[in-house]
Amino acid sequence: DQQSRKLADPKELVGSELSFITDNLARLLESGHPMLNTVSRYYFSASGKHIRPLLVMLVAQATSVGSKRAGRTSMLVGTDVDSIDYSLMDRSASQNIHSDGESQRVNQLIEGATKESHGGRPYAPHVREGLTILPTQRRLAEITEMIHTSSLLHDDVIDHAETRRGLPAVQKTFGNKMAIFAGDFLLARASMALARLRDPEVIEIMASVLSDLVDGEFKQLKNLADDDAPMARPDEGAFDYYLEKTYLKTGSLIAKSCRSSAILSNSTDDIVEAAYIYGRNLGIGFQLIDDLLDFTVSAAELGKPAGADLELGLATAPVLYAWQEYPQLGPLVARKFAHDGDVAMAWDLVHASEGLQRTKQLASHYMERAIEALAILPASSAREALERVTLSVLTRTK
């Protein structure tokens, strides 16, 4: 903590930008259906940590100084997603698919969008101490949070979650259908906003995140009793499989949005790669801490269910380490803690083992690698703030 206090404060650098994000997201999610508006904005109404947009904006600033490639032309087209839907079509097409009242409303929105400004200054670059956040990078931060939230809306249905961000889980309040539609809608609006960045490389990278998320979820589902069971033994193979899954389900979005932010700064290839390696290590470390907190923090503190992973049949890092000390965990892992008493026994063995400390050490190793990756960026308060975020992820309790 001492180490961390000397570093620039991320909130001071981009806090004001982050404070607009909820309002901006609400605009990006405007639809003609009041119910869809309510459900798709539901998780944004509770305060999330906004770690992903924070990282995108800090990477934007940290890569705004230093060497640049020539000739990149990405730009944010249109100022509001309300205008995205329709301004790409000609007027007659837009009139064909909307009732007269609707197309009038849309036209007003398009005109309004060019006059309005969110919170006073969102469409101009945000410049502080010579560190710049471009409008494309601000929009990327919003897209990243939309993709994340979309995956949570689906995840809570899949995991039968009771709560999220201290609220009843989306499907508990609105039902499964609404939760799935809202997740799809967020993803649709995120895709449109992404296309509007007019940067094919960034579009391709961010699209690949979506298949990574599904790939990660499938790896997690894979039946451990399969013949080619990747987690049959508590050895390197099981751990590699777990870490690969962890990269896909959590690391990919963070890593690739950091990469995309550096690309939008027009950074040279080595800087773009460093931003990716930073995000990749931070992302894996972030999920390791998530898997640790599932064993150590109460549901009240987390704002979501605790002790949930064993109930879901998942053997995360604390269990894999405990299994190395207590081979009797093997059959429980293989049957996904399905028999009566399995969850309680696994819970006790994890707490009796070194599993929790070792998981923290592993997370700390990933955080060190993340910080190392920052070394090739020019020194700046944004680079320091990235270091500070990395350290704070390691000590987070929710």
Whose CA is closest to 366, among 262, 267, 292? 292
Single-letter amino acid, residue 18: L
Residue 217 in the binding site for ligand FPP (CB under 6 A): yes
Q: Does the footprint of ligand FPP cover residue 336 (CB under 6 A)? A: no
Shortest spacing between CB 302 and ligand FPP, in angstroms:
8
As to burial, measured by CB atoms within 10 angstroms (0-12 exposed, 13-18 middle, 19+ buried), residue 5 is exposed
How far apart, in whole angstroms, are the C-alpha atoms of residue 209 and residue 190? 12
Query: Restricting to residues 232-291, which ones interact with ligand FPP according to CB under 6 A?
Result: 249-250
For residues 374-392, one letter each, b for 16 or more C-beta atoms within 10 angstroms of the residue's C-beta and e for the rest, the string is: beebeebbbbbbbbbbbbe
Choose among Mg ion, ligand FPP, none what residue 214 binds, the Cβ cut-off being 5 to 8 Å by kind.
Answer: ligand FPP
- Residue in the block written with tokens 């599932």: 294
Q: Tell me the site size for ligand FPP, rule CB under 6 A.
A: 17
Q: Which of 61, 79, 151, 265 binds ligand FPP (CB under 6 A)?
A: 151
Phi, psi of 35, rounded to the nearest 5 degrees: -65, -45
User: Any contact of residue 182 with ligand FPP (CB under 6 A)?
Assistant: no
Sign of CA dihedral 181, 182, 188, 191: negative
- State how far the Cα of 223 lies from the Cα of 235, in Å rounded to an integer: 18
Shortest CB 156 distance to Mg ion, Å: 6
Min CB(24)–ligand FPP separation in Å: 20
Among 74, 83, 150, 266, indicate the residue that binds ligand FPP (CB under 6 A).
150
Confirm or reject binding of residue 183 to ligand FPP (CB under 6 A): yes
Which of 56, 345, 355, 73 shows the shortest CA–CA distance to 209?
56
Q: Report the C-alpha gap between 158 and 166 in whole angstroms.
A: 19
Q: Counting contacts by CB under 5 A, is residue 290 touching Mg ion?
A: no
- Out of ligand FPP, Mg ion, none, which partner does residue 199 contact, by CB within 5 to 8 A per kind? none
Query: Smaller CB distance to ligand FPP: residue 64 or 144?
Result: 144
CA distance linking residue 59 with residue 25, whole number of Å: 20
Taking a C-beta distance cutoff of 8 angstroms, is the pair 12, 382 a contact? no
Residue among 249, 333, 324 at smallest CA distance from 291: 249
Partner interacting with residue 261 (select from Mg ion, ligand FPP, none; CB below 5-8 Å by kind) = none
> Given candidates 8, 57, 141, 187, which one binds ligand FPP under the rule CB under 6 A?
187
Among Mg ion, ligand FPP, none, residue 264 binds (CB under 5-8 Å by kind): none
Give the Cα separation of 339 and 319 in Å (integer): 17
The footprint of Mg ion on residues 118-177 (CB under 5 A) is 155, 159
H or E element in which residue 65 lies: none
Residue 128 belongs to what H/E stretch? strand 126-128
Does 212 engage in binding with ligand FPP (CB under 6 A)?
A: no
| Residue 53 interaction partner, one of Mg ion, ligand FPP, none, beta carbon < 5-8 Å per kind | none
Q: Which is nearer to Mg ion, 135 or 313 (by Cβ)?
A: 313
Q: Is 221 in the site for ligand FPP (CB under 6 A)?
A: no
User: Smallest gap, in angstroms, from Cβ of residue 287 to ligand FPP?
Assistant: 8
The residues of the shown chain that bind ligand FPP, judged by CB under 6 A, are 147, 150-151, 154-155, 158-159, 161, 183, 187, 210, 213-214, 217, 249-250, 304
Residues that bind Mg ion (CB under 5 A): 155, 159
